Amino acid sequence: MTTHTAPTRTAPRRTAPTRTAPRRTAPRRTAVLALAAALPMILLAGCSSAAEESTEGKTIELSVLDYYTDEPSHSNMEKRLTACAADVDATIDHQSVPSPQLNAKILQQISTKTLPDILMVNNPDLPQFAETGALRPLTELDVDTSAFYPSVLEVGKYKDELYGLAPNVNSLALFYNKTMLDEAGVAVPTTWDELGAAAATLTQGDRYGFAYSAASGTEGTWTFIPFLWSNGGSQLELDAPEAIEALDFYTGLARDGYVSKSVVNWSQADAKDQFTSGLAAMMINGPWQIPSLEETEGLEWGSTTIPVPAAGDTPIAPLGGELWTVPVTTPDREARAASVIECLNGPENQLETALTNNTVPSNESVAQELIAQAPLMESIVETVSTANSLTSDSGLKWNDVNAALSAAIQAAVTGQQTPEEALKTAQSTVGE
Amino acid sequence: MTTLLMSDKTATVRRAPAAGGAARVNRPRDTNSHRVIRRRQLFAWLFIAPAIVYVAIFFGYPIVNNLTMSFQDFTTTTFYTGEAPWVGFDNYVSVVSSALFARLSVNTAVFTILSLAVTFVIGMLLALFFNAHFKLSGLLRSLILLPWLLPLIISAAVWRRMMDEGSGILNQILSSVGIGSVPWLTNPDVALFSIIIVNVWIGIPFTMVILYGGLQEIPTEYYEAASLDGATGWNSFRYITWPLLRPVVAVVLILGFVYTIRVLDIILALTGGGPANSTQTYATQAYQLSFVDFKFGVGAALSNILIVVSLLVAALQLRTSRRSNDLAG
């Protein structure tokens, strides 16, 4: 019965085409249009699916992506890469993008599966990229890491797997103007009490005793982290008494007028400018500022580890640095990329980079060698030996912690909230 | 392009009753004209096609993509695996329920409305001023365009130096006059207004140029005739300039609103949203969420809210200005 009725029901539909006949041109046209619109995408898709063939035993080209766009860093890095690649019968295709664009570029390459063979990432971003699964753990590639500072290896780890190696790291130290300290008869501060007293004494006229960066974002946050950590605080417990105490001391210096309230807009470079122009007697900053300090005529400066809450405490500063990682490709390419990274992390390369960029070698004995050759770096080498990776306690939550803590520091410096209120607000946004 | 189509349609509608009135005579011509119309429509579509393709690829696709992204848990991992689980309205809920949202809304509203109002009033006064031709007016007018010619990042960096609390030139001048120093960018209660000042400075040339162009279009005969009737000064502005300038004013306000509500570069360069989020707006927070925190889904949700708000206000403005135009006409 049903089979009989079916044809009759469909019958009128068959006549339909005649009714819609004049309209037929319209769908055809849209189809052509759609095809024309899709054409570039089809072409693009064709490009990315290059055939993978065995490269075993052949000379190959390894692509490298980093953010060393400035000269001479770019050509120095290319020289080192080329020399290291020659050992594994490979050539180098070296690309650099400006640092603010590196993450966007990596994300784009991750989505199109066109990551380079060797990739540099900035250390706070490692958890994000390692989480995607696009990076190969270096432990699977037999990379020798025995000579490294354990703290430096932590920088390249995510979920207990080593993903990246930093030939060189940097951290933070206290820089002081020797002339000003001598004139005021102030000894180099080592504890918070001494730092507070020194800042008070050194504040004279339009000169502030102390300066740091409290700008929105990472620069302002990581400058505060040594105070948080040295006091036993954690990035994940921002409303704990240790954290409140640290923020109270740190921002209290600004509320008392020993630190300019403009620090909420100062980057680390701005803090350095205040220091070199004599408007601040001490500052928290990194060793990459040493060349500018040396260039400043008449500036007698020194540096030491960041003061700790009480005498005898260990200063714990955050580590920064560029990590070299191996994206997932073919076993042969990964193995060769890993040896290039191992070579980049070799003692000679580390020392050379340390001397040209004012960074600390991640190999302990090389770091000692650096102190012999560049005594100015002593305080920072000492800092690195007890430092921790910036994201060691927050991991994937670092971005939330960073934003919340940045707002808390600024609210406390400007007196908008008490340190306690500010950190409670911060913890509530991180805890979400 | 749509007007072309519409006029075509109205033409058919208008022709139809005439054809009905003389049905017998017109039948062969009727089918003929149908074919003509259809062919004309086909050509119309062909002419529109490039525009449709362009709009679809460069506007349609990103907007649809942004919409779908706002309903997904879209993270860095998504880029690699392509997996972005659907989460319904979770992203919108987390944006709206975040402790920051009320502050963002107030900041965005204050920033946009104040910037727009002040820019408009000053731009209007300057346009009127330059409309009265005098010596050197051409030179002065081109000098006022200067803020427009400088790259935003550079002018913002200069303003940041000028507004420094201790060593900035603004405070040096103020304290030499005896007013004392203003914490331009360091006080959370002041920073937003400082940014508005900079934004007004940047916005004035645009407003002035467009309004000045509008003023030039008004025939001087009206003013001459009105002055014979005794309408000068405020009255001539109230009854001649303002009604005739209204369409231009609508354009200035709508464009100004859309440009202002999405301002990002000036804020990032001056304060980065600080101190303590006091200058954070929808635009800066959406940028922060998507490109700093890598929370693409939540960032997309916030930028969709931003798009909807600006669409609503633009539509409202268009409607009121059209209605008042009708009334005026």
B78-100 pLDDT, tens digit per residue, is: 888 888 889 989 999 999 988 88
Q: How confident is the model at residue A8 (pLDDT cuts 50, 70, 90)?
A: very low
Residues B45 and B104 in one domain: no
Give the mean pLDDT of A304-315: 93
In a domain, A38, yes or no: no
User: In angstroms, rounded to a whole number, what is the distance separating the alpha carbons of residues B247 and B260?
Assistant: 20
User: In angstroms, rounded to a whole number, what is the distance separating the alpha carbons of residues A400 and A382?
Assistant: 30
Residues A64 and A101 in one domain: yes
CB contact under 8 A, A25 and B42: yes
Give yes or no for residue A25 having a pLDDT over 80. Answer: no
Chain B nearest-CA distance from A197, in A, is 22
Quote the crossing angle between the two packed helices B152-162 and B191-217, to the nearest 10°. 130
In a domain, B319, yes or no: yes
Q: How confident is the model at residue A43 (pLDDT cuts 50, 70, 90)?
A: very low
Secondary structure string (H, E, C) spanning B224-239: HHHHHCCCCHHHHHHH
What does the pLDDT read at residue B153? 87
Residues A165 and A180 in one domain: no
In a domain, A22, yes or no: no
Tell me which long-range contacts A422-425 makes (C-beta under 8 A, separation of at least 24): A422/A247, A422/B276, A423/A238, A423/A239, A423/A243, A423/A244, A423/A247, A424/A239, A425/B99
In a domain, B55, yes or no: no
Size of interface A-B (CB pairs under 8 A): 115
Task: Encode pLDDT of A57-97 as tens digits.
Answer: 788 899 999 988 877 778 888 988 999 999 888 999 999 98
Residues B322 and B222 in one domain: yes
What does the pLDDT read at residue A189? 95
Residues B243 and B321 in one domain: yes
CB contact under 8 A, B185 and A132: no
The token duo for B293 is 């925190």
Residues A338 and A305 in one domain: no
Residue numbers of the domain that contains A205: 173-316+394-431
Contacts of B83 (CB under 8 A, 6+ apart): B77
Tell me if residue A70 falls in helix, strand or coil. coil
Give the mean pLDDT of A347-365: 87
The token duo for A89 is 């019968």
From chain B, pick out residues whose CB is under 8 angstroms from the CB of A428: 99
In a domain, B269, yes or no: yes
Residues A268 and A401 in one domain: yes
Domain count across chain A: 2
Residues A179 and A166 in one domain: no
Residues B7 and B130 in one domain: no
In a domain, A410, yes or no: yes
In a domain, B66, yes or no: no
Minimum Cα–Cα distance from B164: chain A residue: A262
Residues B32 and B150 in one domain: no
Give yes or no for residue B288 having a pLDDT over 50. Answer: yes
From chain A, pick out residues whose CB is under 8 angstroms from the CB of B53: 33, 36-37
In a domain, B38, yes or no: yes
Candidate from A147-151, B49-53, B97-101, B299-303 with smallest mean pLDDT: A147-151
What does the pLDDT read at residue A340? 92
Residues A421 and A277 in one domain: yes
Give the mean pLDDT of A354-369: 88
Residues A416 and A334 in one domain: no
CATH number (domain holding residue A231)? 3.40.190.10
CB contact under 8 A, A407 and B276: yes
Residues B210 and B321 in one domain: yes
Q: Are A208 and A279 in contact (CB under 8 A)?
A: yes
Give yes or no for residue A271 having a pLDDT over 70. Answer: yes
Give yes or no for residue A55 having a pLDDT over 90. Answer: no
Give yes or no for residue A399 having a pLDDT over 60. Answer: yes
Contacts of B296 (CB under 8 A, 6+ apart): B69, B74, B75, B78, B290
What does the pLDDT read at residue A233? 93
What does the pLDDT read at residue A121? 93
In a domain, B70, yes or no: no
Chain A nearest-CA distance from B79, in A, is 4
The overall average pLDDT reported for chain A is: 84
First and final C-alpha spacing in chain B: 26
**Residue B80 near chain A (CB below 8 Å):** yes
DSSP E strands: which ranges in B188-229?
none
Name the strand (E) or helix (H) holding B108. Answer: helix B101-131
Chain A nearest-CA distance from B289, in A, is 9
Give yes or no for residue B3 having a pLDDT over 80. Answer: no
Q: How confident is the model at residue B328 (pLDDT cuts 50, 70, 90)?
A: low
Chain B nearest-CA distance from A170, in A, is 22
Give the mean pLDDT of A204-228: 93
Residues B231 and B182 in one domain: yes
Chain B nearest-CA distance from A367, in A, is 33
CB contact under 8 A, A265 and B186: yes
CA angle A286–A288–A290, rounded 5-degree value = 95
Q: Which residue of A216, A391, A398, A423 to mutate against B (max B Cβ within 10 Å)?
A: A216
Q: How confident is the model at residue B327 (pLDDT cuts 50, 70, 90)?
A: low
Give the mean pLDDT of B124-133: 89
Residues A130 and A180 in one domain: no
Domain count across chain B: 2
* Residue predicted with more confidence, A432 or B292: B292
From chain B, pick out residues whose CB is under 8 angstroms from the CB of A29: 45, 49
Residues A356 and A410 in one domain: no
In a domain, B164, yes or no: yes
- The share of chain B scoring above pLDDT 90, in percent, equals 38
In a domain, A32, yes or no: no
Residues B106 and B33 in one domain: no
User: In angstroms, rounded to a whole number, what is the distance separating the alpha carbons of residues B217 and B227?
Assistant: 19
Ramachandran area for residue A56 (φ above 0: left; ψ -120 to 50: alpha; else beta):
beta
C-alpha closest to that of A175 among A268, A260, A264, A281? A281
Task: Encode pLDDT of B218-246 as tens digits.
Answer: 998 888 888 888 887 888 888 889 999 98
What does the pLDDT read at residue A183? 94
Residue numbers of the domain that contains B240: 90-328
CB contact under 8 A, A261 and B183: yes
Residues A364 and A399 in one domain: no
In a domain, A406, yes or no: yes
- Give me the amino acid identity at B10: T
Q: Which residue of B277, B291, B292 to mutate against A (max A Cβ within 10 Å)?
A: B277
Residues B45 and B127 in one domain: no
Quote the crossing angle between the two packed helices A241-255 and A419-431, to the nearest 10°. 130
In a domain, A105, yes or no: yes
Tell me if residue A119 falls in helix, strand or coil. strand
**Residue B277 near chain A (CB below 8 Å):** yes
Residues A298 and A228 in one domain: yes
**Residue B42 near chain A (CB below 8 Å):** yes
Candidate from A10-19, B60-69, B81-90 with smallest mean pLDDT: A10-19
The token duo for B69 is 């992204």
CATH number (domain holding residue B222)? 1.10.3720.10
Contacts of A301 (CB under 8 A, 6+ apart): A175, A176, A177, A178, A275, A293
Give the mean pLDDT of A202-230: 93
Residues A123 and A269 in one domain: no
User: DSSP label at A55?
Assistant: -
